[in-house]
Structure 1
């Protein structure tokens, strides 16, 4: 019996240690939360990337808008003047309209594809930058775990480092100028 009670006491001690271990570890662990979506929307680098894309693609967009308007006018003319045009003139205008419409559609598709590729490049670059800043801040401030908004139902402001990450990004943007 003595041996059995000693074994039970040792087992009880191990269970008690295992049960209390998460509480001890939780007191020592430093956890932080970062809202990456907020950072991606509000960082100066995100704004700069959007402005760069706008500058790069606005001339092509303006050309597409002008061509779309010209095609609309051509279609209106076809509908309005079809009865008074000669058959050859109407056939030529319809052929021109079809060809330009096809070219317009092709140019629109190329524009969308090019814009998506560039947007994804800028987004990837920005994601890498944000991740690096988060890692840098986590190491500087000795966090054990940094979680993002994905699958987090609640994070108190006490552990939210989103603004500090955003401030570091702002500092980097200022020093890059």
Structure 2
């Protein structure tokens, strides 16, 4: 086995030693950093703009949702009626009604998919608008409290660094 004593290994050793000496100084400088934490879900659920957005979405989509629910009820009732009447129906009539029921079910499923896609799209668009305004509020809170960084959804944050309620308050005051 050969050992290589190149200048490369010596340089690596010197760099590692220097890093070990400098690291405590870097951490000492960062110890003065002011940190805040924000719970994003709370902002999206408890701010006035989020509540208004959710209420508007529910209002805008409630009719379609009720229509889909009603159509599902009618299809279920028709399927139950077909099941009861099938023994006394002729083959042609039974097959025709089964096809009609299958077509109605496919149409209902298509409407449900479109409803879900439209609802998801609307939620995405509204959340983007809320996020844009929340970022303005976040920056205002960071400047007011002279914070260097605000961490979103940390696994743990001491309550004294949590600025979520302040961000919600500023967000609620924005026009």
TM-score normalised to structure 1 length: 0.78
Quote the residue 1:51 is aligned against. 55
- Tell me, yes or no, if structure 1 residue 159 matches structure 2 residue 171: no
- Tell me, yes or no, if structure 1 residue 19 matches structure 2 residue 24: yes
Quote the residue 1:3 is aligned against. none
Deviates more, 1:57-66 or 1:81-90: 81-90
Write out per-residue CA displacement over residues 121-148 of structure 1, whole angstroms, 9 at most, x where no aligned residue.
Answer: 1112112221221012212332211112
Quote the residue 1:7 is aligned against. none
CA distance in 1, matches of 2:155, 2:94: 64
Structure 1 vs Structure 2 CA RMSD:
2.0
Matched residue of 1:155: which SS?
coil
TM-score normalised to structure 2 length: 0.79
Gaps of 5+ in 1: 1-14
Gaps of 5+ in 2: 1-19
Quote the residue 1:103 is aligned against. 107
Tell me the CA shift for residue 22 of structure 1: 2.8
Tell me the CA shift for residue 103 of structure 1: 0.9
- Tell me, yes or no, if structure 1 residue 116 matches structure 2 residue 132: no
Quote the residue 1:66 is aligned against. 70
Quote the residue 2:145 is aligned against. 141
Deviates more, 1:152-161 or 1:76-85: 152-161
